[in-house]
A and B are shown apart, each in its own frame.
Chain A
Amino acid sequence: MDLNGKLEHIFILILENNLINKKMKNIKINYLRNSLLFGLIILINSSCERDLSDEARNATFSKTAEIFTDGPVAMGTNFYFPYGPDANNPVGSKFSAWSIDENVSYKGNASMRFDVPNSNDPQGNYAGGILRIDGAGRDLTGFDVLTFWAKASQGVTVGEIGFGEDFYPNKYMTTMTNVSLGTAWTKYIIPIPDASKLLNEKGMFRYSAGTQGTNGAGYTFWIDELKFEKLGTILPLQASIMNGNNITRSTFVGVKSSVTGVLASFNMPNGINQSVNISPAFLNFTSSNTSVATVNDSGVVTPISAGTAVITATFNGQPANGSLIINCTGTYNNAPTPTLNPANVISIFSDVYSNVPVNYYNGYWQPWQTTLSSDFSVLGDNVLGYTNFNFVGIEFSNPTVNANSMTHIHLDAFIPGPIAPGRQLRVLVVDFGANGVFGGGDDTRHSTTFTATTSTPVVSQNWISIEIPFSAMPTLASRSHLAQIILEGGDNSILYLDNIYFHN
């Protein structure tokens, strides 16, 4: 099998050589010789490895270095993909931001031109996207940097320039942030964190440029001679995970966490230390306790039993700064699954019903709120997780909820930590009144208090299913414009909430 594969490989190369010979008959003889030499070298190398006892070797891909010289190089037909809409950019990148400029070039007769739009451009308020090979990927193992020449229409800082993004799975991304461009052509070097992993890459280039630094005014920058190179003058220094911090995460069996905040720094040929944001997959991960949590080669951590495991990483053989400490409290105990008919429910948060529009599940109300959000999902069950809980507000005011046909509010609460005697949990329901907005003198609310002694007792380590009839909320004057649910009575410990809805 192995032998067959290799022979076939050699055979194809010979065929290609013959093909080149025929194609180039009318061209300079030197080219012909070079191509023949190339063929021979590969043939000899391959021939030396034809022993049956050899390990199987993976197929290799094109080692082409150039991405753009005077035009895209071996990129195929459909290779430019602008970024689509996201939470911060409802329109996405302006589609026409990228073009080939045949009037401007560092070398040759064309460059890539990026027209960053004004921040109020209706066709897109920034420029960003990827160049992805339309076809087979490339083998980048022989390179150590991505280089290009660039200049801009004015001095400007471009947010992100890098490579490795292919939209799926984006396994090996590298990004240089805040790239300062001047008005004269300058060479830029982005180190490849570990080229030995880049056997088949399609994401050749990525960029994202906005107008945050230009008061919303658009500008143009050009990139030319974009290619991978082997410089040999880049010294890898240290990497860090979790931005160099030791981050503790409380979690459950099966709830996956990802290593994030991965940076690597390199000493460049000009003596400057250059830091780049990189994908976790460039590092090698270790779990201190694989019976508690395992970690895969992309830094995704899977807890498998109760206990503590520390996830650390190495880069270039050196330990990376920072760690992810997984405190697994065991198997997650799901909240009772709601059984009411959806027609009888107005849902604020559940996986069973369609939720009404919710402004937020944590208003971070200043100055007194300490509660932070750490929402999580266990095998498809989404849960609101609150840490440092003292109080928290959930708002659904756009539009407000008319619950006149409803009779109760329901929510499930879970307190994983111990409960001090007398610990209260208060549930406030707020109506914004006829004006439908906060304040204005017509807001009303009712607070219901639960303690260890109430009929729905506050307990630890068990779901507390809270049911409050509107009839028991005398100070809530109306439920035509319900807009907030507030939880109070925290002792700065952890609270989970699930299945929040009004029903009849």
Chain B
Amino acid sequence: MILNKIKHKIFIPTAIVFLLISCTKDEKQTVVTKNNLVMSDEFNINGAPNTNLWSYNIGTGANGWGNNELQYYTSRPENIKIENGVLKITARREQYMGAAFTSARILTKGNFETKYGRIEAKIKLPRGKGLWPAFWMLGSNSDTAIWPQCGEIDIMEYLGNSPTKVFGTVHGPGYFAGNAITKSYTLPNSRFDTDFHIFGIEWDENYINFYVDDVLYNQITPFNVTGEWVFNKPFYIILNMAVGGNYPGAPNSETPFPQEMLVDYVRVYQ
């Protein structure tokens, strides 16, 4: 008798919950569904990254890659290797070629470039002040069109002293560096350094949607940018972990080293 009564009542609260879920998705954004996998690296073969897809940036770049970053990027297995099904980018505190830290940065430039698509990676991030890992893209004409004219899409940027927050950003002419178009996403009940999370964009003509796991948290369109829209052309993918620099500041005594950025996969759908 009692059971029947309760069974009857359960539909009302269930309906309320359902409504709440519906509300969170009701953001009036253009959502595309791209399911055709055109590129993936699952990082399943131990050793160095696949050279048919990835190349390295080596060294300190000009002015620490433009940001006064402190690391020297290498291609050594100490800084980058595939092991146990994941790509490991390892930042180390060590004197190397005049730098105080080493790390790695790989890119698909010339090997895989895409205009539009769903570009996503599953990544477990590091911890500690001064660590600045990113999963991002630059316009394929980056050698001829001076940044920020070439365009930059930061699918995920993260600071190791802010373990629950990531940023999705675009840079272009008239909106770059401190004036870039950006939005952060904060995990409500978890951290980015304790588990893998999926970071992605859904990108098509005149819009870029940013998501973390199953949460779409931003859409950027030509209407949002304060300059020319430079994202209707091919871009290449970059994975790196910077140490120090203008944005994160230098590591401190509590920053543990070495620290790893673990990438389970990178996938692109059209």
Contact = CB atoms under 8 A, between A and B. Distances in A.
A37 B10 contact: yes
B28 interface: no
Contacts of A232: 188-191
A36 interface: yes
A235 B191 contact: yes
Nearest to B160: A271
A235 B6 contact: no
B190 A43 contact: no
Interface string B187-220: 1111101100000000000000000000000000
A273 interface: yes
Given A230-B189, A270-B162, A273-B254, A235 B9 contact: no
A14 interface: yes
Interface residues of B, number: 25
B163 interface: yes
A208 interface: no
Contact of B2 (A14, A33, A235, A270): A14
Interface residues of A, number: 19
A271 B6 contact: no
- Of A34, A232, A267, the most chain B CB neighbours within 10 A belong to A267
Contacts of B13: 33-34, 37
Nearest to B254: A273
A36 B11 CA distance: 11
B9 A36 contact: yes
A228 to B, nearest CB: 15
A269 interface: yes
A372 B111 CA distance: 72
- Label chain B's interface by main secondary structure: loop
Nearest to A144: B189
Interface in A314-329: none
Contacts of B68: none
Contact of B191 (A36, A39, A233, A272): A233
Interface string A87-125: 000000000000000000000000000000000000000
B127 interface: yes
Contacts of B7: 40
A231 interface: yes
Contacts of A271: 127-129, 159-163
Given A230-B189, A232-B189, A235-B163, A267 B10 contact: no
A235 B189 contact: no
Given A40-B6, A269-B163, A270-B162, A235 B190 contact: no
B20 interface: no
Contacts of B23: none
Contact of B164 (A33, A40, A233): A233
Contacts of B191: 232-233, 235, 269
A272 B194 CA distance: 16
A390 B154 CA distance: 70
B12 interface: yes
Contacts of A230: 189
A37 B12 CA distance: 9
Nearest to A38: B13
Contacts, number: 53
B10 A235 contact: no
Interface string B155-199: 000011111100000000000000000000001111101100000
Contacts of B163: 233, 235, 267, 269, 271
A273 B10 CA distance: 44
Contact of B127 (A14, A233, A235): A235
Contact of A36 (B6, B160, B162, B193): B6
Nearest to A265: B254
Nearest to A39: B6
A213 B106 CA distance: 53
A14 B3 CA distance: 10
Contacts of B10: 36-37, 40
A490 B9 CA distance: 84
Interface in B126-174: 127-129, 159-164
Contacts of A36: 6, 9-10
A39 B9 CA distance: 11
Contacts of B161: 270-272
Interface in A2-44: 14, 33-34, 36-37, 39-40, 43
Contacts of A231: 189
Contacts of A267: 127, 163, 193
Interface in B233-268: 254
B225 to A, nearest CB: 30
A270 B6 CA distance: 44
A92 B242 CA distance: 54
- Of B6, B7, B190, the most chain A CB neighbours within 10 A belong to B6
A235 B189 CA distance: 12
Contacts of B3: 43
Nearest to A40: B6
A352 B261 CA distance: 67
Nearest to B7: A40
A272 B189 CA distance: 17
Nearest to B194: A235
A358 to B, nearest CB: 46
B223 to A, nearest CB: 33
Interface in A206-242: 230-233, 235
Contacts of B193: 235, 267
A288 B128 CA distance: 34
Interface in B10-57: 10, 12-13
A478 to B, nearest CB: 61
Nearest to A37: B13
Contacts of B188: 232
Contacts of A14: 2
A145 to B, nearest CB: 12
Contacts of B187: 233
Given A232-B189, A233-B187, A271-B160, A33 B194 contact: no
B142 to A, nearest CB: 32
A33 B9 contact: yes
A233 B165 CA distance: 11
B20 to A, nearest CB: 14
Nearest to A18: B2
A32 to B, nearest CB: 9
A273 B127 CA distance: 11
Interface string A310-352: 0000000000000000000000000000000000000000000
26 contacts: A14-B2, A34-B13, A36-B6, A36-B10, A39-B6, A40-B7, A40-B9, A43-B3, A230-B189, A232-B189, A232-B191, A233-B164, A233-B189, A233-B191, A235-B127, A235-B191, A267-B127, A267-B193, A269-B163, A269-B191, A270-B162, A271-B127, A271-B128, A271-B129, A271-B163, A272-B161
Given A235-B194, A270-B162, 7 more contacts: A36-B9, A40-B6, A233-B163, A233-B191, A267-B163, A271-B128, A271-B159
List the 3 closest pairs (A to B, CB-CB), nearest first.
A271-B161, A232-B189, A37-B13
